[in-house]
Structure formats: C-alpha cells, structure tokens
Structure 1
C-alpha cells in the first residue's frame, strides 16, 4: 500500500544520503559505463548494496529495477516493483556539485504509488503517496499556476530546442533553464519553482518514476512527449521522453511538440 511503502522509501533515502555524503568530495573510484551510459562511482554501488539489503528484505515479493543492478525479466511478472536510482546526477556528484539526488519509487501495475526524491546536501526531501498529495520536508507543495507558455520558465537541455522537435519549426518563446539531475528537475516543477520541464530523448524509468508521482500529486501534468500517461516496469525500462508542468503549461508544451512516429 502507498501509505506503508512511503515511510520505507523515506528511511532508505536518509540512509542513502548518509552513505553518499561519506564519499562526497573525497577520494573514491569511478568508472565509465559501457556504450556511453555515463559514470558510476563507489558511492553509487554502496548505496545500491544498502538498498538491495534493506528494501528487498522488507518487501521480498516486490520486483526490482535499479540503475546499478543487473536487470531481470522476473520483475515483469510482479504486481509491485521498486524503481530506483541510487544517485541521480552521478556526474554532478563527481564534479562536486550539490544538486545530485536519490530517486526511489514503488510502482503497482505500472503506476507509481509511493515516491521520494532526496537531496541530502540541500536538505530537501520531496515525497508523495498516491492520493495523499506531495510534500517538501513535510509541507504541502503544488505546481505553478502560470497559464501562458510565453511567460513560463522551463527546465530543458539545449538539444530540446532544435527546430525539428517543434510543429512551428522553432520552440515557443519560453525562458529556458537547466539542472543536471532529471529527478530534481521534476521535483522543482512540482514545487512550483519552475513552470515546466521536458526531455525529448528516451528516458530511463529510474530517473523519472519518483518525479512522475510527486509532480502529479502536486497538481501537475506529467506524460511522455506525445502526451500519453507514463507507464512503468516495461521490458525496456524506458519511456518516450517526459513533458511535465502545471496543467496549462503542460498542455501547451505537448501541443507545440511534433508527435513521434
């Protein structure tokens, strides 16, 4: 149940923060993953080991999908599944930035029901359970009420501005900003600090599952780039981009984008 899974995820996030901070800005090993999949560090693996030990013991019948664990088709037959990014923003972690996050979620039959995004160095704990609203450090949060895309500030990487993505041959006239952690981008939109976010490449579920629920529970819209609701625990563990924001901004963004084939 969402109400019982959320305390479990919250406790795990606090312990993950303790472990990760113990490696931060200290000598630790890091490697580049194959096929340009980005870096991984001792900290990522240490957090992942803790998650495997604690969460799988607490919920032995749940499936498992983590960026730092070998994937298995066994999760596809499970009604519930953990979807975890031990450290979202590993490159930022290695560079000494403070905006990396732990992103943990539980999905039931493809829909996220409990989620946390925790930034230990900023003391920010975003959380949500299905039907219970979203909070930041225990206080309710909600998306912005901006109505016009031209007045919006959108979190987006520069490649998303390329003309071939947009029906009019150019992006709408919103202000663009950026944060390296995809989970943190979703949380900032849920908090109302930014009006929307988008990423148009195929995205790993562990980067976005927690943010999807937190943003929707904060009153926003969160879909793939074509406007379809996000579904999780797929065989590929990926979704076709993410568009999120307050309801008006979300609708305007999805309406302005060219649909994929």
Structure 2
C-alpha cells in the first residue's frame, strides 16, 4: 500500500531528528544570515539537505519551499508543495535548549493537508492530516474550548503587550512564550494553552504545519485580520496569526487593533 503524505512526513521528521541530535548546538558551526534574518547552523543545512532529498524523491512532482533553500518561482506552478523549516527555534538549538522543532507540511492549492511538528530533544511529534484530526505521539489531542479572554493562557512574544496592538486596554491574559512558533501552534492544538498570537509578518514555513495541527484539534486559525491562511504564495509571508478556540479567537480578534502591527 502506498505511503500516505502524513506517513511520509512522520518518517522524514524522525530521520531529521536523528541528524539534528548529532550536533551539539553550542559547538555547531553557525553564522548570521544577511539582512538581520537571524542565525543558521550547519545542523539546519544538514537537516534541510536530508529533507529535500527524502521528500522530493518520494514526491518528485511536489514543489519545494524551505527557509534554508533559495526560493524559486517554480513552486508556484505546482499544485502541491512541501513547506519546510528544518529547525524552527535555531537560537534555542544554539543555546543547548530542547525547545526547537522540525516543521514540515504539505499544502495543496494553497491549503495545508498534512503537517508534522517534531521536537526530537523532547520526543514530541505532533501530526495532522486534513479532516483526520491531530495527534501527539499518535494519541488524539484537542484544543481548549474557552471564551474567557481574561486570564486566558496565551503564547506570544513580549512585544504583544504593546498598547498599539489593542483597541482598548491590553487584555489581562497570562502571557507565556516558547522559542519555536511551530511548537506554540502545536501546543494550542494539544490544549496546553488557550491560544497563540503573533502580529508580526510570519513566514509560511513557521506556521504551515502548526496551523493545521491547531485547526484539526478544534482551534480557529487566521491571520491577524481574521483572513483564512493561504500557502505557497509568491511572497511567502502571512500578516501575523491568531490561533485559539473559536469563541476566544473572536474575543482576541475584537480586542486587536488590526489597523496597526509590525
């Protein structure tokens, strides 16, 4: 029986984890990307090479979009495309932390249909296929169904508390943080946090897999203006993300000043 797309992603993620764990983050060769785009290490590139070889050999007709591969307009003519962040949370990896992830997704005609977020240092593999629900290490997960914005546990970076992002007073939610954006979205799907928000322009490879995991677990996921996420765009960036249970998502969207943002 042919391997499903999700099974392929899970297999590839496990292999990527084995490669990444061979490197000690604090001693791995690293350098800064041009234009202040952040750090990259030899582990990022080794994982990217492995994933490109493994995934594209299995699905040669799929396009390719990865943080660590020079972009090509060729992907725009493909109906189905891999969207990959070899290591999301590179700074955590460099510092010797365990909160970094492989984020691997497949999008068909702009919609994610399979996704995996794997944290090899924690052995946590989140997965989802469209219409089939989401799982953590094979066990089903579900987002919290809450509508109480006050005291909600929200994953977000510190700048989110800037008054300019909100129509009125900054909501009194409880802010928490994880370095990997993909992991933050997966944690919403797991139900460990009520929601996650980022109002900065966000790369597709950071959110493609996590957004599917969160939505398949019962969360609503949109950009910061409430629009449905679309993938494999010519400019592979999204105008922020709001992910939470439907009622809480509406409360966050109402409170957010979507006319402003980073």
Separation of aligned partners in 1, 2:183 and 2:156: 12
The residue that corresponds to 1:198 in the other structure is 197
- What secondary structure does 1:202 align onto? strand
Separation of aligned partners in 2, 1:77 and 1:260: 33
The residue that corresponds to 2:105 in the other structure is 105
The residue that corresponds to 2:248 in the other structure is 249
Aligned-pair RMSD on alpha carbons? 1.1
The residue that corresponds to 2:65 in the other structure is 65
The residue that corresponds to 1:19 in the other structure is 19
The residue that corresponds to 1:188 in the other structure is 187
- Relative to its length, the structure with more helix (as a share) is 1
Unaligned runs of 5+ in 2: none
Query: Which runs of structure 2 are paired with 1:1-261 in the superposition (5 Å)?
Result: 4-25=4-25, 27-168=27-168, 170-260=169-259
Are 2:26 and 2:94, in contact at CA under 8 Å, matched by a contact in 1? Answer: no
CA deviation after TM superposition for structure 1 residue 76, in Å: 0.7
Separation of aligned partners in 1, 2:140 and 2:247: 21
Are 2:28 and 2:94, in contact at CA under 8 Å, matched by a contact in 1? Answer: no
- What secondary structure does 1:9 align onto? helix
Unaligned runs of 5+ in 1: none
Separation of aligned partners in 1, 2:41 and 2:155: 26
CA deviation after TM superposition for structure 1 residue 221, in Å: 0.5
- What secondary structure does 2:75 align onto? helix
- What secondary structure does 1:150 align onto? coil
CA deviation after TM superposition for structure 1 residue 25, in Å: 4.2
> Runs in 1 of length 4+ with deviation above 6 angstroms?
none
- What secondary structure does 1:28 align onto? coil
Separation of aligned partners in 2, 1:6 and 1:24: 29
- What secondary structure does 2:142 align onto? coil
Separation of aligned partners in 2, 1:60 and 1:237: 21
CA deviation after TM superposition for structure 1 residue 26, in Å: 6.1
Number of residue pairs aligned between Structure 1 and Structure 2: 258
Normalising by structure 2, we get a TM-score of 0.96
CA deviation after TM superposition for structure 1 residue 33, in Å: 0.3
